[in-house]
Amino acid sequence: MPPTIRMDEVSVTKQARRVLTDVSVTFEPGGVYSILGPSGAGKTTLLRLLNRLDEPTAGTLWLGDTPYAQLAAVTLRRRVAMVFQVPIVFPGSVRDNLLTPARLQPQQRVDSSDCVGLLALAGLGGAVLERDAASLSVGEKQRVCLARALMTHPEVLLLDEPTAALDPTATQRLIESIGDLNRRLGLTVIIVSHQPEQARTIGGRIILLVDGRIAEHATATQFFAGPVSQSGRDYLGRALAGAAS
């Protein structure tokens, strides 16, 4: 069972600008959360905090009953893995990429059959294993990054707009893979998106960030039936109108 992650009145200030303000939210084990919001709302910053790539200016993050600050960042990141918006593959083959986490921690035993299994979960066939990772399409690279993140056997998966660079077909396939991961591995999935329709497909819970504050926190059904706040209604209206045009 993955641990509960809690953010307790977390604020972030960068270069005198408030990026997040008093964010308090709990991510329950095995849940699927879509973080929505306009550009600059603080979505990526929130995800970076959860992976501890950044520190909050104020407030506390908790993994289970332990504050983030008391956990070794290296261990935490293996339990709470992150996939970035732009897929970053390392030089070498797909297999080299997948074995990177094992190389970083040589005492960790890695079964090479993991590579094939996790690639399949990420939606890629084992035939790509020996291919040069740099030669793959953007969509394939993103899947390699997803499978690579899974090699640490994380309990929580953070995805920062993973479909931003993908075409509609690749997007659909990746969304299906993410749903699969949640169901089959029981991972908590927290996904940043700027497409409300995608969040509706994924389901789970929606957290809407506007100007660094949580404007809405509801189930996908409740949110799409009608946001409670004015800023939520404005955002959804604009976003759906933009998608329709």
Partner 1 sequence: MSTQLIDPSWLQLGVAAGLMLVAIGLSAARGLGLERDLVIATLRTFVQLFAVGYVLGIVFSGANPGLIVGILLLMLGIAAWTVAGRQRRPTYALRVLVLGSLTVGCGVTLILATEIILRVQPWYNPYYLIPLMGMVIGNSLNSATLAVERLDSDLSSGRDQVEALLALGATSRQASAVQVRSAMKAAMIPIINSMMVVGLVSLPGMMTGQILGGSAPLIAIKYQVLLMYMIAFSTAVSAFLLTTLRARAYFTAAHQLRHEMLAG
Q: Give me the count of residues in the chain.
A: 245
Instruction: Compute the distance between CA of residue 115 and CA of residue 133 in angstroms, rounded to an integer.
Output: 14
For residue 82, the Cα-to-chain-centroid distance in whole angstroms is 6
- What's the burial of 125, exposed, middle or buried (CB within 10 Å: 0-12/13-18/19+)? exposed
To partner 1, the closest distance from the beta carbon of 58 in angstroms equals 17
Near partner 1 by CB under 8 A: residue from 54, 180, 211, 234: 54
State the nearest-atom distance from the C-beta of 220 to partner 1, in Å. Answer: 27
Q: Of 5 and 220, which has the nearer Cβ to partner 1?
A: 5
73 near partner 1, rule: CB under 8 A: yes
Of 77-85, 117-125, 132-140, 229-237, the segment contacting partner 1 by CB under 8 A is 77-85
- 């029981």: which residue's tokens? 186
User: Judged by CB under 8 A, does residue 81 bind partner 1?
Assistant: yes
164 forms part of the interface with partner 1 (CB under 8 A): no
For 8, other C-beta atoms within 10 Å of its C-beta total: 16
Q: How near is the Cβ of 174 to partner 1 at its closest, in Å? A: 18
Strands 17-27 and 5-14: antiparallel
What is d(CA 128, CA 201) in angstroms, rounded to the nearest whole number?
28
What is the Cα–Cα distance from 37 to 43, expressed in whole angstroms? 7
Please report whether residue 145 would count as binding partner 1 according to CB under 8 A.
yes
Q: How far apart are CA 41 and CA 38, in angstroms?
A: 6
Site for partner 1, residues 85 to 144, rule: CB under 8 A: 86, 88, 90, 100-101, 104-105
Count of residues in contact with partner 1, rule CB under 8 A:
24
Query: Which range touches partner 1 (CB under 8 A), out of 33-41, 50-58, 115-123, 171-179?
Result: 50-58
Rounded-to-integer distance, Cα 129 and Cα 136, Å? 11
Q: Residue 21 burial by CB count (10 A; 0-12/13-18/19+): exposed, middle or buried?
A: middle
43 contributes a contact to partner 1 by CB under 8 A: no
Candidate segments 30-38, 83-91, 180-188, 214-222, binder of partner 1 by CB under 8 A: 83-91
Contact set with partner 1 (CB under 8 A): 51-55, 73-75, 77-78, 81-82, 84, 86, 88, 90, 100-101, 104-105, 145, 148-149, 152
